[in-house]
Amino acid sequence: MKTIDQLLDEGVNGKRVFVRADLNVPLADGQITDDGRIRAVLPTVQALTGAGAKVVVASHLGRPKGAPDPAFSLLPAAERLGELLGEPVAFAQDTVGPAAHAAVDGLEPGQVAVVENLRFNPGETSKDDAERGTFADALAALADVYVGDGFGAVHRKHASVYDLPARLPHYAGHLIATEVGVLRKLTDDVQRPYAVVLGGAKVSDKLGVIDNLLEKADRILIGGGMVFTFLKAKGYEVGASMLQEDQIPVVQEYLKRAGEKGVEFVLPVDVVVSGGFPDLKAKEATHPDVVPADAIPAGQMGLDIGPATAELYATELADARTIFWNGPMGVFEHPDYADGTRAVAQALLDSPAFTVVGGGDSAAAVRLLGFDENAYGHISTGGGASLEYLEGKTLPGLAALED
């Protein structure tokens, strides 16, 4: 895989460089609530503009249905990119049409244009190779060189991620090179003890990574909504908590395998519960209770790990040399249910380990709860991509950058 450093050595002055970024930022009423993914691509964009490239930035945002939808416009992300660069950024109101070509043709060396949401074109996400290829051909007409830097999308076989690199000289941007280097430290060059903290809503989203990490990790700590399937698998009642009953046999098998392999599976000893899911907009006090993990009352919903569990997890992480964390411990967006996630975030900071926060909600939680992201070893921009890499899968967007 050739990197942007090699591209810069070859020279890019006056060349049109297509940067496939991940500007898929969360929006509320048209306002960006977390610009972490935009800031993550800055080193690549700045390196290229500083070397005189004409930079064409492209990304998806959300899940539009293959047609323009104002709710998913990249305009807010383009404006924020311009603010962070301290330079105006041209914005094209289409992806490969007249506006895109006019914006690119109008670039001077060192300037940037952002084209509209790639997923406004059905060819971007099509399962049909020919349809994706036709869209990739149209994208290729905008540039001379391709730089892949949207790590959050490399697990997708999409036109701009998989097909376009085959049509242009291609290189990995700074972000992708960094992400791959970090993930290798979690798979091929692990310092032990190796602790993994997994949370989030659904256990089904994490089964593949658990399966693979049973061969690599020394201990696995579970939280979030997914934990109640584990508790149920141990025979505990979970009240009205989130539960995937169809996954109980799989979870029981994983618990058995962990015991056979000497991998420590750590589950909560207490849980924060309430009578229902909180209002995340109003964030009014809900007066939750703390109960033992094996005694969740009927009708009560588990929404966070309890204080004793938070202490237990901090102890389990204290002597680790490598920690990977993916998924919050509870409904961290509400102050009544943020303490478990806050405790894990703090435990990573207190540990001497190489720490990786695995993207998605975990990264958002670190920022929302006021932690210094630079204090962690690495905060990934791609939750799904990170998990699939750790599952041992081949990621199409990385394979496409290899020669």
The Cα 226–Cα 157 span in angstroms is 28
Which residues, 6+ apart, have CB-to-CB distance to 369 below 8 Å? Answer: 332, 338, 341, 342, 345
The Cα 249–Cα 207 span in angstroms is 12
Catalytic residue among 202, 234, 257, 367: 202
Amino acid in position 334:
H
Beta strands in 21-140 (DSSP E): 27-28, 31-32, 54-58, 90-91, 112-114
3-state secondary structure of 132: helix
**157 belongs to the catalytic site:** no
Catalytic residue among 199, 224, 239, 360: 360
**384 belongs to the catalytic site:** yes
Catalytic residue among 37, 54, 132, 206: 37
**360 belongs to the catalytic site:** yes
The Cα 55–Cα 42 span in angstroms is 12
Amino acid in position 216:
K
**CA 37 centroid distance within chain:** 9
3-state secondary structure of 58: strand
Catalytic residue among 224, 306, 384, 397: 384
Q: Mark residue 103 as left, alpha or beta (left: phi above 0; alpha: psi -120 to 50; beta: remaining).
A: alpha
Catalytic residue annotation: 37, 202, 360, 384
